[in-house]
A and B are shown apart, each in its own frame.
Chain A
Amino acid sequence: MTEFRLYMAQRLSALVMAPFVLVHIGVMIYAIQGGLTAAEILGRTQGSVFWFAFYGLFVVAVSIHASIGLRTILGEWAGLRGGARDAVSALIGVGLFAMGATAVWAVTA
């Protein structure tokens, strides 16, 4: 992956997340007002194609976005270079995606 592609991927995934973040914050505020229970959350989300797609895309975008971001930080602040850095950040991306996917499955399936 060239630096430019990574750059584009990070910016585009950020753009994708922008509306999600707003909605997500909104939902959280709304939910917290009434105090959250598992049933409330799950009741709203389970079986909903909309929320599945919503959080699913969110997870895809965030895994891409965060792994690229961490790759930069690993390079600049942890002095990691070359293949090692790419491998670690790819792993982080995959890990985030796996955990995220499980979570989305849990709340929407």
Chain B
Amino acid sequence: MRVSRAHPLWLAYVLHRLSGLGLALFLPLHFWVLSYALNDAARLDAFLTLTDMPVVKAAEFGLVFLLAVHFFGGLRLLALEWLPWSAPQKTWAAAAVAGSFLVSTTFLLQAI
């Protein structure tokens, strides 16, 4: 049977998990790109010029977005678990998502 469970806290949980997973998958790639610098700065350069391309821009936006989502979601969780407040958790979830959007949009605007 299909399970319905779309409520703010659950969405926040899924978002946090998917963003964490996304970051974990991206991280090795990121490290690999940076390691290029070790033996060939030019190759790194060539790669980095790709950042001008819209696709790469979008990917980068996505990554920073993931990081922001995960960061705020993580802070939300830490607050929720470790600070003894409890009631308006939904507001927290919402605020975290809103905050991440804010940051990533700033980034996007800056980058253009």
A adjacent to B, CB under 8 Å? yes
- Measured CB to CB, the residues of A under 8 A from B are 11, 14-15, 18, 21-22, 25, 28-29, 32-33, 35-39, 41-42, 62, 66, 69-70, 73, 92, 95-96, 99-100, 102-107
The 8 Å CB contact of A106, one of B27, B38, B45, B60, is: B38
Q: How far is the CB of B48 from chain A (nearest CB, A)?
A: 5
B107 CB-CB contact with A under 8 Å:
yes
Known: A99-B32, A106-B35. A73 touches B21 (CB 8 A): yes
Cα A57 to Cα B34 with chains together (Å): 16
Which applies to chain B's interface (DSSP): helix, strand, loop or mixed? helix
Q: Are A38 and B45 closer than 8 Å at their CB atoms? A: yes
Q: Are A66 and B31 closer than 8 Å at their CB atoms? A: no
For B107, list chain A residues within 8 Å (CB).
25, 28-29, 32
B67 CB-CB contact with A under 8 Å:
yes
Q: Which 10 A-B pairs have the closest CB atoms?
A: A103-B34, A106-B38, A99-B31, A103-B31, A38-B44, A38-B45, A106-B37, A38-B41, A66-B24, A102-B35
Q: How far is the CB of B59 from chain A (nearest CB, A)?
A: 13
For A102, list chain B residues within 8 Å (CB).
31, 35, 38
Q: Are A32 and B111 closer than 8 Å at their CB atoms? A: yes
